[in-house]
Every structure is written in structure tokens, then in C-alpha cells.
Amino acid sequence: MSVRVIVRTFSELCITVGAVIVLFVVYVLFWTGVRADRAMDDQIAALHDQWARQTPRAAPSTSAGAGAAAAATPYRDGRPFAVMYIPRLGFTWNKPVLEDTATGTLEKGLGHYKGTARLGQTGNFSVAGHRRTYGDPFKDFPELRRGDAVVLTDGTTWFTYRIDEGPYKTVPSDVEVIDPVPRKSGYTRPGRYLTLTTCDPEWGHSHRLIVWAHLDSTQPVEAGEPRALRR
């Protein structure tokens, strides 16, 4: 085998590896977003379908009754159960919230930490989301400020949470931030709290950014969108 053949084959291999790396960057930056946007739209559409089917049954009961009925259905792993709106992240920003924080779940929406409180219940309703890749749901996480609204709906009720504290930077092992009463948030008594977590720095994994909020108001979906979502 001549030197020429060896050199040529080596060069071709290098070019191939380079091309694969470029393709991988395209995949991470662009294609995961395309896939995630499609998956999130599907999840939200599935939720709306499900809610549309439930409405006839929920309608005769009071909103409290509907809430109790919803509380009886446990969240199913990897399945959506709510839609989140954060006006600060964009007026059209809305993402499905799915149960559990498995890798596959977070590719389709935001993930609710298993074992933390249910939406609107006493305790800490904790949700994780991607900062980058898979649609960049929490790209502008550091923009969140005290007083910002985080609105969620489970199909029967609108829940408006108000941010009290954050973004707070911590380490990945700091599991106390999703405690029922997260100590570092400044909350001292049990209440209806919400915690959002994402990674920091943007493309890294050395830290986590945390935001805490408390439940400010609720209203049945029949009453229309909450004030925080109106223009």
C-alpha cells in the first residue's frame, strides 16, 4: 500500500468526522427544537382533546367538585396534565407539563418532579425544563423577576402563581429547593408553592437556576383567562 493511499484515506476520514460533527451541531441546535416543538404541540393538543371530552362530566359539578375529581386522578408518568404560561418569557410562550423528569419526558415538555405536590395543592409543585436544546423552553429563565406570573391550567382551573424569589443559583445536589417548604426561598410556613428549575450556565451542567413562586389566585376555566394572561 502506497503512502499516497494511506494519506488520502486518512484525509477522507478526517473530513468525514468533521462533517459528522457539523451535522451533530445542526441536530442539537436546530433539529431537537423542531422535534420538541412538534412534540409539545402534540402534547398540548392531546390535553385539549382530553379536556374537551371531560367537560360534559365536569360541567354540572361545582369548580370545587371538579377540583376534587381531578385530584383523584393520579398523574401518569410521561403524560401531560397541565399547560404552563409565563408572560415574561413571551406572550405566546406556553408549554405542556408532563409527569416525571425522565430524559424522554423533558424532550416533550416540562417535567413535574415525581413526589412533589400536585398542581395548586399545599406543598411545592416543582417543574424542571430545558434551558437549551429541545425547543429552549427556559432560555430566558434569568429574565424572571419577583412578581412575574406563572399561570397553569389543568383544564378545569386556572392557577396563577407569583414569583417571590429568584433566579437563585445553586448546585445540582441541592435537592432542598424542591422541599414542601424550601428553606432558601424565604418561605417559613407551609403553603401552595411552585418551583422551577433549569440548568446553568446555558450550555453547561455545573449549576442549577431556581425560581420560587406562591399561589396567588385560582379561577375556574369558565371564568376566562386570568388577568395575567390578558394583553
- Positions annotated as catalytic residues are 130, 199, 208
Beta-carbon contacts of 51 under 8 Å, excluding residues fewer than 6 positions away, are 155, 156
Instruction: Please state, in angstroms and as integers, the Cα–Cα distance from residue 116 to each residue in 61, 123, 136, following that order.
Output: 27, 7, 24
Beta-carbon contacts of 38 under 8 Å, excluding residues fewer than 6 positions away, are none
What single-letter DSSP state applies at residue 224?
A: -
Q: Return the number of the residue (157 or 197) whose C-beta is nearest another protein.
A: 197
Q: Is 125 in the site for another protein (CB under 8 A)?
A: no
Q: Is 99 in the site for another protein (CB under 8 A)?
A: no
Q: Is 13 in the site for another protein (CB under 8 A)?
A: yes
Q: Which range in 23-31, 39-47, 151-159, 212-220 contacts another protein by CB under 8 A?
A: 23-31
Angle at 32 between CA 39 and CA 213, to 5 degrees: 70
Contacting residue, 7, 17, 27, 190, with another protein by CB under 8 A: 27
Q: Is 181 in the site for another protein (CB under 8 A)?
A: no
Residue type, 210: I
Q: Return the number of the residue (51 or 168) whose C-beta is nearest another protein.
A: 168
Angle at 89 between CA 84 and CA 95, to 5 degrees: 30
Binding residues for another protein, rule: CB under 8 A, are: 8-9, 12-13, 20, 23-24, 27-28, 31-32, 100-103, 106, 111, 113-114, 128-133, 138, 170, 172-175, 177-178, 197-199, 203-205, 208, 210
